[in-house]
Structure 1
Amino acid sequence: MKGVWIALQFLTRLPTPRVETDAASFARSMRCFPVAGLVIGALVAGAGRAGAHVDPWIAALAALVLWIGVTGALHLDGLCDLADARGAAHGDRQRFLTVLADPHAGSFGVVAIGLQLIVKLVLLHGLADRAFWFPLMLIPFAARIGPLVWTSWLPPLHAGLAAGFRDAIGWRHVSFWLCLLLLLAPWAPALLAAPLLIGLWGLWLHRHIGGVSGDCHGAGIELVESGLLVAALLLSR
């Protein structure tokens, strides 16, 4: 249970009981990231369903605003940093790492965040128009299996947050969550796209980045969520 509280403290802005932690317990909390995703998904779907009593666009906006608010835009920040670093590096690895560590947002990052928010808003509208709430509730859960896979698969890009998780995560933890995802898939078939999307992001990181960092995890979560929203919308038709 301690790992769940730590994961919620790290991945959300929800009020949680005060939990004393150290580096080892913080690293182990990654095993509970999908649990935090379930909480996020339930809140997002609830906000969307409430907004749907007014209008599908209001539902989409309510879901998106709560999605950003409950996560504190944590993963959007990772997407922003990675976009800036890729856009500015021009093949120079040292410049890539320097820009990745820069807390300031550049034009590439701002554009990436803007596009991501537009994509999510439009896709959420499509799901709201069809009252497709159950798959929406599970999408944040499925996307947060990704960091477990990428941590087990890829070397740390640098000594930082992602490097601390590596020794605490193994393929048995990945297998547990993937099995649960498969058990839920009959009620939300869009979840079956999650392993493919997670694998594709891992391959892209392996080929173009050569490792994984906290920003890569955040960007991957955002992109996998968008991909799953597309899958859910296509299946809703």
Structure 2
Amino acid sequence: MAADDNENWEDRPLIMPFCGQSCWLVYQTLERALGRSVIIEPGLSWTLVRRQDPNMEHLAKITKCNTMVVLAEKLIEESFDPIVDRHTRNNMIQSVVYNCGSNFPRTNFSRFYTAILENDGRVISAASLRIPSPEIAEIPFIATSEAWRRKGMCRKLLEAIESALGDIGIKRIVIPSSTEMLAKWQIKFGFVNVDYQTNKNIKELNTLMFLKTTRLQKVINPITRKTADLNFLPPSSPRLPPAPPSGQ
């Protein structure tokens, strides 16, 4: 995440694992929301998940999250042409959806989450989500199962994500769009070309970009966005612990 100028971490002896208190609060809020399904309307719910290592203390939640991640990865793989990193030769979709880590920032996807839309327990739409700064979220992949396309499911998932992100102070969403999808993102979903300053900031955050794609953005409007509570805590909540020292 980008450096947070509002926090003073100079007295820390080593590099912080988070940019500052605001990044830590966003991370903690997302972690507390994991595995909590929220009803959007009868028959439809959405859930935030990520792959996690087995832990007996939270086994039921982790099992649920990991199972949903597997189903989401399959859905996204079926919806996109294969994307292989030209340097590592890794499958990019798998690396992102399974939030694989790396010692190199460009290929470190450990902060990715997956937002999943379900119909009566069946995964019908999924989106990869990462928050590289306290104000920006990126969604490099979003897909809907073939049987549910052209029924507004992608819009419902995006609206839920947008509302939840707005609750924790995220200002805008950025996506990479293929040429064929540009008009759809702009006309149907309200995305626009990334402005100069945002594009400059994004380049410093190692956000994902693919060949023959264009970056688009959508500003989250806190007034008009719909409510899709995910039991998110306010960014200023005193119940969240302070950011840990380096190395934890």
TM-score using structure 2 length:
0.27
Instruction: Choose between structure 1 and 2: higher helix proportion.
Output: 1
Higher-strand-fraction structure: 2
**TM-score of the superposed pair, with normalisation by structure 1:** 0.28
Higher RCO, Cα 8 Å, sep 6+: 1
